Structure 1
């Protein structure tokens, strides 16, 4: 194995193991709350499903690309290019939509009662469960078309152009079908990204205005600690900013990959690495405003180091 392949394999391995463990620890925290009879808040419910989606991404995409980076051909062509990619696409879509839902919910939650969100502020928490269910259902339905366009390298009939992605190949009957499929897949992600940018801007504006309103109170108060709601909002802002940065980079690299019939080694691996950055980073952002989950992670990491 070449040194560059070994280095890339170790990078994938570190990212995958860290991401899986962090998401599993966070999931254990949420499940333990459910088993103890604690009623999850709407933000906890959204974050729980976001963590589930990110765990699935790391298990499907992360493990697959790590194994392949070391040159181990464990998965068959059909498994790699249909089943795992379908699971990854569904989980990625749920991760995008739940992050968008979390940012919108937090924006409505911190908005003042005198705002135009007054009625939505009272109704939205009741529909969070249905919204999360729709996120999973719609993404499973939308991505059903994906496996049909993942074909074997040697089955090049009825396709105008075959694109080879090192371990998989894909083709489309014509340019129009290819363009429609790309738009069909990218439109939800682009729309959610736009909504998240808007909601983030709204949260920043609301927090800034609130800070100005209570500035005279803080001057006379000894404690300058921010409220739990403010810390949670800042955590959501960091999460959304991380999402926008990583997924924008991922989309740019993916667009570069599909422009080449045979993409280069570094382009394929960099694109694969960036595509799993957000699922690996997001649990740490969610833990930052959850002291119980943070303590659980530190205890677990300390146990691993002792072992």
Structure 2
């Protein structure tokens, strides 16, 4: 029965990883094509490009090794491989958070009138956005380096107190200073980003409520078309922000629970991995459904192929 449950979990992870990776790969190709082809680029395209890239890396770095361990291939990483894998997982997870926060902040500054015009113009600058993305990567590459202190390979023979065994790597029951200082640093950075995310999301909710009241009195074609585009973009970002906050909160509560349990069971580890992959799986399809360029490109490609086959037939 236990083996059957492991196979079930492995199949769920494979499906989740495959669906999410396909969605993110499609968007990554689309955004790279837009950025490199000289087409009209939106200010948020670089942020979205990095978000779907980070989503793909989260799915691969978490899904592949845990699925292999679930199907019975255990202890396939050495000490250096385990440290690099968990370090990489933390970095790309942090980039997901930062890009979602940056995307929400950009839209809030664009919509809300109490922000200065100078800041709005800066946020529209591709140089400013590129610098923000670059600094996000540098920050997480530096901060998350401390995780190598309490990750080891199960094949290592030295006597360590193992806290969590993932099958392919293990988390150590670290010393008191490492146990509290490192999570405190991670929590502080995540708390700041989540606070900004909640604040900017609240600002956008206020904008949507005011817009709903305003459209009841204003009936202009030009105004309504522009407003509809803003509302669609704002609604998409709100869905991303709210889903990220909800899933992150569940994952954080589960992590706290795992830290309090003496030796967490395998089912807790499996659920933790599943929750960490939910946002990278869902978010690309939210973007696909809301981005008009996606449907336009699909429709254009289908029309060209239809004309091509028609000419060949004739």
Q: Shorter chain as normaliser: what TM range? A: 0.7 to 0.9
Deviation track 1:251-305 (CA, whole Å, cap 9, x = no partner) reads 11111112223211221111110011111111111112213335778999xxxxx
SS at match of 2:89: helix
Change (3 A) 1:128 1:33: same
Counterparts in 2 of 1:166 and 1:53: CA distance versus 1, 3 Å: closer
Moved more, 161-170 or 270-279: 161-170
Q: Using a 3 Å threshold, how does the CA distance of structure 1 residues 79 and 278 change in structure 2: closer, same or farther? A: farther
Between 8-17 and 141-150, the greater mean CA deviation after superposition:
141-150
- TM-score, normalised via structure 1 length: 0.87
Aligned to 2:163: 163
Aligned match of 1:125: 124
Distance in 1, matches of 2:38 and 2:248, equals 36
Work out the CA distance in 1 between the residues paired with 2:166 and 2:102. Answer: 35
Stretches of structure 2 that go unaligned for 5 or more consecutive residues are 303-314
Q: Is the 8 A contact 1:156 1:162 kept in 2?
A: no
| Matches for 1:138-287 after TM superposition, within 5 Å | 138-153=139-154, 154=156, 161-167=161-167, 168-171=169-172, 174-218=175-219, 227-287=228-288
Count of aligned pairs between the two proteins: 294
Alignment check: 8 A CA contact 1:51 1:283 kept: yes
Deviations 1:60-115 (A, max 9, x none): 11112122221123731436521211111110011101110110110001123xx2
Counterparts in 2 of 1:46 and 1:231: CA distance versus 1, 3 Å: same
Q: 1:138 to 1:27 in 2, by over 3 A?
A: same
Q: Which runs of 5+ in 1 are unaligned?
A: 301-307
Is the 1:26–1:51 Cα contact (8 Å) retained in structure 2?
yes
Q: Alpha-carbon deviation of 1:5? A: 0.8
- In the TM superposition, residue 32 of structure 1 has moved relative to its aligned partner by 1.3
User: How far apart are 1:53 and its partner, in Å?
Assistant: 0.7
Change in 2 beyond 3 A, CA 1:116/1:173: closer
Q: Deviations over 1:123-177 (max 9, x none)?
A: 22221110001011111111112123212445666x7x53132323233553232
CA contact 1:163–1:260 (8 Å) conserved in 2: no
Question: 1:32 — aligned with what?
Answer: 33
CA RMSD of aligned residues (A): 2.5
Q: Specify the SS of the correspondent of 2:262.
A: coil
Contact 2:17 2:63 in 1 (8 A): yes
Which residue of 1 is the match for residue 310 of structure 2? Answer: none
SS of 1:170's partner is strand
Query: Does the Cα contact within 8 Å between 1:90 and 1:139 map onto a contact in 2?
Result: yes
Q: Distance in 2 between matches of 1:28 and 1:252?
A: 35
